[in-house]
Chain A
């Protein structure tokens, strides 16, 4: 470091960028989130070519490069494929640690669905079954599912 700066406190300029966005959810995402909000049901889409059932639903399959228009209702429960218990806190987390993230293979789907597990953290293992717990007040958000709970 430059010699003279060692004798003083170097200056910093505090700043924050807060830009408002309105991300259009699109027709596929909107149907998925409205179904969570209005019916407490989880919807996926099924690729007509490879048969993969995606959740969250996709409008097209990146693997086959084709459009998808087949909707399927998938189970609100499934199996933990991977998980981590989070011990550090930062402002964007929706709940206070410790909590867990899990990739959950919902019954009837072919991909992992990322969500939270908030209870029974000491009992979580890959391979265990979990079930979605919906919030009472729902707004059309991925967080309309409060979390998943061990069955």
Chain B
């Protein structure tokens, strides 16, 4: 693969309701901020990828509504209807196919629609949708399958919520920085067993942008380029019942291929920090298992062992993760932006010392049907 780098990043503060800005306003702000961050002008950008979902936005061809705001007038624009890590992947492919610099923008306003009704729409309309299943109840089935298989207690996964809401206090963009305890999580309102309110992400509004460029552009940007060392994605079966929900095989495959590209043979030793997409607490340990940081069933013990909190061998979600702000679609791009900031050494109070190599992860579909894994680093 030719060298390509992340040269500009920007994200809004994530909030429950952004009443003063429409979607295009959010996109315009992060586009401008990402260009400022890179020290580039809109004329330097020759390709635009927008990330949006028509159901969420309540309009068809939703990408077109933010094209102008993304600086897309007179350029080609494509839209990825999926997580932002997949939008970034498409942006990278644009650069590898000859464009100089692609801006990838993602937007989402959970305050404007209905998350359960919209996520019910991702299920098969004939066999599953009439049952009323949505993203939350599907996740609860996965949590049950995973935790039952390995004998993981609710208190064990509650620690993820405690850690990530605590980490969010160091992230000025986070929506829910909180000092909470395992007891608080355990006593929070029942949503869908074993998930309680504090095991679940909030509803969020926000946007994010990232500029991916070739070596020629990266040589003249303001900030130190962060190089794409490895990236891959993989998908598994559509119907929940066809999958073994406690075994994220698509993630394992994506990780294996991303690691091979990046020359990673021992992820725990070679990766300094990870940002994974965990809108539900149990997902963090399950994804860490899929990413090969530990054996199946051991993910939930990493916090207690001191490995994944700040200061541990592999801090996971220093930003507070999706539990602390989950603008759907944007949330994966936020993981990649956080990984970039870590490698730059610009992550402020959430900075992991000497972070040279970072992992970012996002997924699409119920219970992580398809996963995208990025490895980024400071050296070409």
Contact = CB atoms under 8 A, between A and B. Distances in A.
Interface in A62-100: 62-63, 81-88, 90-95
Given A23-B125, A25-B126, A142-B130, A82 B245 contact: yes
Interface residues of A, number: 41
A126 interface: yes
B96 to A, nearest CB: 29
Contacts of B131: 94, 101, 114-116, 142-143
A87 B190 CA distance: 6
Q: Which of B136, B190, B238, B242 has the largest count of A CB atoms less than 10 A from its CB?
A: B242
Contacts of B127: 29, 56, 114, 142
A84 B128 contact: no
A101 B133 CA distance: 8
A78 to B, nearest CB: 11
B116 A84 contact: no
Interface string B114-131: 101100100001111111
A42 B131 CA distance: 17
Contacts of B191: 87-88
Contact of A141 (B130, B148, B245): B130
A111 interface: yes
B339 interface: no
A90 B148 contact: no
Contacts of B189: 87
A115 B142 CA distance: 15
B117 A90 contact: yes
A15 B113 CA distance: 10
Contacts of B125: 21, 23
A90 B120 CA distance: 11
Contacts of B148: 82, 126
Contact of A10 (B20, B58, B193, B241): B20
Contacts of B117: 90-92
A83 to B, nearest CB: 6
A113 interface: yes
B349 interface: no
Interface residues of B, number: 40
B19 A1 contact: yes
A84 B144 contact: yes
A86 B140 contact: yes
Contacts of B133: 101, 114
A97 B237 CA distance: 29
B240 interface: yes
Nearest to A81: B145
A83 B194 CA distance: 10
Interface string B15-42: 0000110000000000000000000000
A17 B57 CA distance: 11
Interface string A10-39: 100001010001010100010001000000
B145 to A, nearest CB: 4
A115 B130 CA distance: 10
A82 B141 contact: yes
Contacts of A92: 116-117, 120, 129, 132, 134
A84 B120 CA distance: 16
B239 interface: yes
B170 interface: no
Contacts of A86: 137, 140, 192
A2 B191 CA distance: 35
22 contacts: A5-B19, A10-B20, A23-B125, A62-B237, A84-B193, A84-B194, A85-B192, A87-B191, A88-B136, A90-B116, A92-B132, A93-B132, A103-B141, A103-B145, A103-B241, A114-B240, A115-B131, A126-B148, A141-B130, A142-B128, A142-B130, A143-B131
The 8 closest A-B pairs by CB, nearest first: A112-B241, A93-B132, A84-B140, A82-B145, A10-B19, A90-B116, A87-B190, A85-B193
Given A56-B127, A142-B128, 10 more contacts: A5-B20, A10-B19, A54-B242, A87-B192, A87-B193, A101-B131, A103-B240, A112-B241, A126-B148, A142-B131
